[in-house]
A and B are shown apart, each in its own frame.
Chain A
Amino acid sequence: MAHSLSRPSEWLGLYGDILYRYGYARLRDRDAAEDLVQETLIAALKAKDNYAGQASERTWLIGILKHKIIDHFRKTAKEPSQEYDDGLAGADEDEFFDERGNWQHDVSSWSKPDKSLEQTQFFEVLQRCIDCLPPRLAQLFVLREIDGIDTEEICGAMTITPNNFWVMMSRARVQLRHCLDLNWFNA
């Protein structure tokens, strides 16, 4: 089915908040997320004659926003950034592993029939757990696991090495799992 576009003057009202939430979930920065809403809608205005109607209007706009998000990371990564290094040096992982590198916590089995990973509520808990991660780890996890962007592309845009990426992703997973364990499997 071919989709058609609504009037550009309606876009902000129809999709402004959706784009804002989408951007914020990935940038973790309110000002930057607002700027991207604006840039996305301006780009859409320029590109509206090329809209082919294959995707819904919303999907089309989010597609433009995704490019803007990667561009944003590419731009900010050029500025000297201490945050990634801090993220790597942080002692937060000591909460999860002891000094010999063993797990600190026993975790419950994720196989309880009443606590499936397919329930809508599970994703609400997952979302809250992602929100509790340090912002950089949350960003990486969302880009890689939810948006399905390749590791190479993320590393390129953010100018981090793959090895640093895996260390940070691993930290994100360990923290998420602990959070899910407390708030879902044992809630």
Chain B
Amino acid sequence: MLTCKEASVLATKAMDGKLTFRERSGLRLHIMMCGLCRRYVRDMKRLREAIRNAGPIVSPMMPESFRLSAKSRERIGRILKEHSEESR
């Protein structure tokens, strides 16, 4: 019988569709008998669904207050200018 810790790793592998036959039956058996793992698997699938359905809301994932510093902005601007002059 798998431990819950082992089952949680197999559940992640299952979400990639990569379980072997043996692993799949082990995970099924465990989930049948363990309510906490059953809930875990269900919740993780719901989380994946929610992220997929949300689309761009969850990207780029950093608050708007997170910005380039003035110094780096200036440096990047300068380098870009050099490059655009070269490509002319």
Q: For A106, what are the chain B residues with a Cβ–Cβ distance below 8 Å?
A: 36
Contact yes or no, A173 B18, CB < 8 A: no
Contact yes or no, A123 B57, CB < 8 A: yes
Chain B: interface secondary structure?
helix
A126 vs chain B, min Cβ distance (A): 7
Give Cα A102 to B53, complex, Å.
Answer: 32
Q: Name B83's contact: one of A45, A93, A107 (CB within 8 Å).
A: A45
Given the interface pairs A97-B4, A118-B53, A170-B12, the reply to whether A25 lies near B39 with Cβ below 8 Å is no
Q: For B33, what are the chain A residues with a Cβ–Cβ distance below 8 Å?
A: none
Count, chain A residues at interface, CB 8 A: 53
Give Cα A142 to B4, complex, Å.
Answer: 25
Does A67 belong to the interface (CB within 8 Å)? no
Contact yes or no, B80 A117, CB < 8 A: no
Contact yes or no, B36 A100, CB < 8 A: no
Within 8 A of B (CB), among A92-140: 93, 97, 100-103, 106-107, 109-110, 117-118, 120, 122-123, 126-127, 130
Q: Name A109's contact: one of B16, B39, B76, B81 (CB within 8 Å).
A: B39
Does B51 belong to the interface (CB within 8 Å)? yes
B51 vs chain A, min Cβ distance (A): 6
Chain A residue at minimum C-beta to C-beta distance from B67: A17
Contact yes or no, B5 A101, CB < 8 A: yes
Given the interface pairs A16-B73, A173-B8, the reply to whether A146 lies near B51 with Cβ below 8 Å is yes
| Interchain Cβ contacts within 8 Å, total number | 136
Contact yes or no, A12 B12, CB < 8 A: no
Chain A: interface secondary structure?
helix
Does B66 belong to the interface (CB within 8 Å)? yes
Task: Please give 17 more A-B residue pairs, beta carbons under 8 A apart, in addition to A38-B76, A101-B6.
Answer: A21-B67, A22-B61, A24-B66, A25-B60, A37-B76, A38-B80, A41-B80, A100-B3, A102-B4, A103-B36, A103-B37, A107-B39, A109-B39, A110-B39, A117-B49, A117-B50, A145-B48
Residues on B close to A: CB < 8 A? 3-6, 8-9, 11-13, 16, 18, 36-37, 39-40, 42-44, 46-54, 57-64, 66-68, 72-73, 75-77, 79-81, 83-84, 87
Residues on A close to B: CB < 8 A? 8-9, 11-12, 16-18, 20-22, 24-25, 34, 37-38, 41-42, 45-46, 93, 97, 100-103, 106-107, 109-110, 117-118, 120, 122-123, 126-127, 130, 142, 145-148, 151, 162, 166-167, 169-170, 173-174, 176-177, 180
